[in-house]
Structure 1
Amino acid sequence: MLPPPLPTTLDASIAAGLVKQHGRLQPLDERQAVLCDASIERVQPSWRPALDAALAEWLALPKEVTGLSLIAVYARGSIVRGLALEGISDVDTLGFATVSHSDADSELKAWQSRGSERARRMRSAYPFCSGLEMRLVCVPERSSLGGWLRGDAAAPASLADTQLRALDAFRLASQAVCLHGSDLVPRLPPPVPRPRLVLEQSADLARASRAVAALAVQGSSDKALAVARWAAKRALRAGMELAAADYGAFSRDLLPCHRAISAVLGQPAGNRSLLVLQLACMPEEEVARHGGGEAVAARLIHAAGRLAQACDTPVVLRGMASEIAPVGRALWNLDTLPTLLPRGRVRVSPSPTFTFVRERHPLCRSGAYPLPSRVCEAMSGSEFVARIGLAAGGLPPLFYPAGERYYMQADLPAETIQAGRVPALWRSLLDSPAQPLRLWVSTRGATTPLHFDSADSFLAQMRGSKRVTFFPPAALRGLYPYPADHPLHRRARPSLYAAPDERAEDYPRFSEAAAVAQTIELHEGDVVIFPRNWWHNVETTSALSVSVGCRFV
Structure 2
Amino acid sequence: MLALAFHTPARIQTGCRFHSHQGHRGLYRCTQRSHHRFASLATTFTEAVSKGYVKDFGRVLKLNPDLSFGENQTVTVSEIWKPALEVVTATILESIGNAVLAIHVRGSVASGNYFEDGRSDLDLVVIMREHASIQRQRSLRDKIRAQMKSLSEFPPLQVDLRCIKSSHVSRSMSIVLRHYSAVIYGSREPAAPIKLDNSRTFTLAMNIKDSERVCLSAFEIEERASSFELKLYAIQWLCKKCLRALTELALTRTKKYARELVPCFGICSQAYPEYSDALLTGLQVACAHKSSGYAGLNQPDLLRIGLETAQDLVELVEDVFLKNTYGANSESLEYAITKQSISTLSPSLLQLTSQVVEGSLAGLSSWQYSFVNPDGAFSRHSLPRIEIRPGGGVEERPVHSFAENKKRSRLADVLVECTTPFVVRQITDGVDTLSILGKLMQTHLTVACRLSPSNVVTFCRSEHSWITERLWSSPSAIRYLRTPEAVHRLQEKCSLPPLVYKQSQRETLYIQTTTFRSEQLFDFRREKGAKIAQSERIWISAHGTVSSLHYDASYSVLVQRSGKKRMIFFSPECLGELGIYPLGHPLHRRARVNLCRQNSQKFQKFWNSFASSGLEVVLNPGDLVVFPPFWSHYTESLAGKNELSVSHTLRYITSS
Superposition TM-score, scaled by structure 2 size: 0.43
Superposition TM-score, scaled by structure 1 size: 0.50
